Structure 1
Amino acid sequence: MLYDQYVEELSKLPMTKELSFSESEYRLRVEKVRHIMDARGLDVLLITFTPNLSYLSGYQSFGSGWYKCMVLPREGEPVLHMHQLEIGPAVLTSWVGDVRGVPWSDERGAANGLADILKERKLENKRIGVEIKKPGLGVDLYEGLKRALPNASLLDASDVVGQPRMIKSEAEIDYLRSSANITMKALDAALPMIRAGVTDNQIAAVIYHSLINEGSEYFSTQPIVSAGQRNWFLHTTFKRTPIQVGDTVELEFGAAYQRYTSAICHTVAVGKPSPLVEARSKAINETLDLLFQAVKPGRNGHDIAREIGVGMNDVSPAPSATRMYGYSIGLGFPPTWGEELYFIREGIDLELKPGMTFHTVLAIDKPGTPGVGFSETWVVTESGYEILTAHDRELTVVDA
């Protein structure tokens, strides 16, 4: 297939571009990245990490695991170099005008095609930033670039796009509010049907239906419903498990709105909860309350974590010093809504600034005992914080 002809035909169609933001906002993001490139002495940046590429170009697709790269030179227009299946989504959802394809059958692979673009731009002997520490830059691509561009300097630039992504614009925060609204409706739909005798799959089905029916896109993280012995362990979810009296059911999910997610975690006790479950719920929610008393612009993650953490030590198998009390959330693609840009935990001295967004989930899961977890998604404001998923965090208890 002649991909340049295919892109030209697509571009001539009377379609409405599906941009999440204005082209001017995307170009402002590009300029912020270019300032960082200047400081690093980079002539061009190869962006292969899907959330970063989406942040700068607008690209969205459920097939985001396929090869993709945004070639961002220090000057001139960027290029999107995409697997053939992703050309359509790139043309539809991105503002970038130069979209080029890589066919399945191309024996040279993506590396040579990418090298050709760099040669075309006279960048084959320059300082090239690559996202070495991020998913998307495979070994084959990296080694292929080194072979095809023997005189280039390939430099780690994994954190370049992440720096402007840390501070969300008002438009981004509005998307997180929209996500939170859908997420809360799904929680309201799920809680009444949790009882002994139903399965975790049936609970998950209600969450899926509500999220999608209310307007969510495909999820960055699949909804989690953990019950029975499965919620003794972190990161387990539904698997045809019948709910029994004495179980706790942990729910964690979030709607995706223009790829932005506000997540929530909540726990339900089926029948009268044990003193251990009650103690864990109390400790988690008191710690969350302390967190929101402590956060404000100018404070750093280390100090906040040390200040609020000790309250969980008596009921948690993990000491407070090893806990994470918040991670950045926002723009995401499967398999995770977590941005991995900043954290609230000991050893992290990053300063909180207005526009930073966090998901704080605190869970206690110890083999042999019912798991308990609660969370909120929130944003740092000029005066403190705004909880986007504010809800009743008391342990929900349903009759056996």
Structure 2
Amino acid sequence: MIANHNLLPVDAIDQLPFTSAEFDMRLASCRKAMNERGIDYLVLSSPENIYYISGFITKGYYVFQALVVTHTSDPFLVVRRYEQVNVERLSYYRDATVWQDTDVPAEVLARAMSDLGALGKTVGVDANSMFLTVSAYETLRGALPGTNFVNASTILEKCRAIKSSQEIAYIRRAAEALTAGFKAAHEAARPGRTENDVAAAFHYAAISAGSEYMGSAPYIASGPRTALPHATWAGRGIEKGDLVIVEGSGNWKRYSAALMRTWSIGKPSDSVRRAADASEAALDAALAAIRPGVTSGEVDAACRGTVARAGLAHAFLNRTGYSVGVGICPGWGEGWVMDLKDGDPRVLHPGMVFHIVPVLFPEPNISVGFSATVLVTETGAEIISDYPREMEC
């Protein structure tokens, strides 16, 4: 363990996105969940969970990193030596065990945990995280024989699903930058321009309005490319009669707000107009259904049923929505925290935030969608991210 004594506390605290009280509350909630599940040590590997508990953030999360939570001592980070200064400057918990580029990182983690007495105990891991590789997990297990490893991927779900007032304020700030990006993208979506022009306008305006780097690149497509899910700009020229679909996010202190709009360059066809009307009606139905006490599945049923009554059930291929909050590449969503999907029995509570996305694929070369980021309030739903829905440019 390396203690960081080179900086005054203020050097780190001034960089923190949340108060000490909020970080302490998050750790207490995490430990309570660990205790309920009989977990002695928790190893978090997803950058979102690490950020949520500690405030530590780096774009270098593509290499091994972990946050270890115990019941008796402060959490500590296991990071590449190159990243240690980020722990000192950006993390609420400033102790780190570092690995060199010549080390096997999971072995370094295992030694640190063994020193803490983890051998033979119950260790929870982020088993569903894309950032805990099979190789690292097998190395960790092999280095701690007799230790009981359990899947703790859902341990922070309840904590993260309900946002604090500060988290909600950050999402609102992200939405302000997002709106600026959409206004610029809308103005750029004209004949003679390209998808790249739309992307450039979106990025410049959103970032100029305060957005940090987004949890994902915006999805921008025109013409027949609109039928490609998650398509990014590809230089295609925009022509009269095209559809242009844009889905993007803004980000503030790693918290995201997202939005989707579809624009028609000229008068849309009857088929497109029908799909657009259905998407908007489905969005409104979901918004009307959202309130504390209803289930995820009930919101999905309201949204999906509206599309079905329009005769377009076959065109609705995805879930109704997903939680948004901490957004770190490769995505701005928190779908693993909570989805709005068919049959899901989980109950909505005030403080939850969702991106509602009824995007439809009515024809082989077309997609049409309108979305909103919404906050569950004490009485219903409040739209956080919005932009006029007028379709025709």
Q: Same fold by TM-score, threshold 0.5 exceeded?
A: yes
Q: Which residue number in structure 2 is paired with residue 82 of structure 1?
A: 79
Q: Which whole-Å CA distance do the structure 2 matches of 1:104 and 1:38 have between them? A: 35
Task: Report how many residues are paired.
Answer: 391
The equivalent position to 1:246 in structure 2, one of 241, 257, 270, is: 241
**Is 2:282–2:302's contact at 8 Å kept on the other side of the alignment?**
no
The equivalent position to 2:110 in structure 1, one of 115, 129, 137, is: 115
CA shift for structure 1 position 15 = 6.3
Greater Cα offset, 329-338 or 83-92: 83-92
Indicate yes or no: 2:244 matched with 1:256: no
**Is 1:232–1:366's contact at 8 Å kept on the other side of the alignment?**
no
Q: Which residue number in structure 2 is paired with residue 345 of structure 1?
A: 341
Indicate yes or no: 2:19 matched with 1:22: yes
Letter in 2 for 1:243: I
CA shift for structure 1 position 186 = 1.3
Q: Which whole-Å CA distance do the structure 2 matches of 1:97 and 1:89 have between them? A: 9
- Residues 282-333 of structure 1: per-residue CA shift (max 9 Å, x gap): 111111111111111000011222233222234536366x641110011011
The equivalent position to 1:316 in structure 2, one of 305, 309, 312, is: 312
Indicate yes or no: 2:59 matched with 1:62: yes
The equivalent position to 2:102 in structure 1, one of 102, 105, 114, is: 105
Letter in 1 for 2:383: I
Q: Which whole-Å CA distance do the structure 1 matches of 2:97 and 2:351 have between them? A: 35
CA shift for structure 1 position 48 = 0.6
Q: Which residue number in structure 2 is paired with residue 41 of structure 1?
A: 38
**Is 1:62–1:218's contact at 8 Å kept on the other side of the alignment?**
no
Which structure 2 segments of 5+ residues have no match? Answer: none
Q: Which residue number in structure 2 is paired with residue 387 of structure 1?
A: 383
Q: Which whole-Å CA distance do the structure 2 matches of 1:15 and 1:362 have between them? A: 42
Q: Which residue number in structure 1 is paired with residue 182 of structure 2?
A: 187
The equivalent position to 1:375 in structure 2, one of 365, 371, 378, is: 371
Moved over 4 A (4+): 10-16
Q: Which whole-Å CA distance do the structure 1 matches of 2:381 and 2:225 have between them? A: 34
CA shift for structure 1 position 175 = 0.3
CA shift for structure 1 position 16 = 5.8
The equivalent position to 2:50 in structure 1, one of 31, 53, 57, is: 53
Q: TM-score w.r.t. structure 1 length?
A: 0.93
- Residues 188-210 of structure 1: per-residue CA shift (max 9 Å, x gap): 12212211111000110000111
Letter in 1 for 2:278: A
Q: Which whole-Å CA distance do the structure 1 matches of 2:181 and 2:297 have between them? A: 34
* Cα 1:283/1:14, change in 2 over 3 Å: closer
Q: Which residue number in structure 2 is paired with residue 132 of structure 1?
A: 127
Indicate yes or no: 2:223 matched with 1:228: yes
Q: TM-score w.r.t. structure 2 length?
A: 0.95
Q: Identity of aligned pairs, percent?
A: 30
Which structure 1 segments of 5+ residues have no match? Answer: none
Q: Which whole-Å CA distance do the structure 1 matches of 2:366 and 2:229 have between them? A: 12
CA shift for structure 1 position 218 = 1.1
**How well do the aligned residues superpose, as a CA RMSD in angstroms?**
1.9
Q: 1:208-223 alignment to 2 at 5 Å? A: 208-223=203-218
Greater Cα offset, 365-374 or 125-134: 365-374
- Residues 237-257 of structure 1: per-residue CA shift (max 9 Å, x gap): 210100011110001111110
Q: Which whole-Å CA distance do the structure 1 matches of 2:133 and 2:25 have between them? A: 29
Q: Which residue number in structure 2 is paired with residue 362 of structure 1?
A: 358
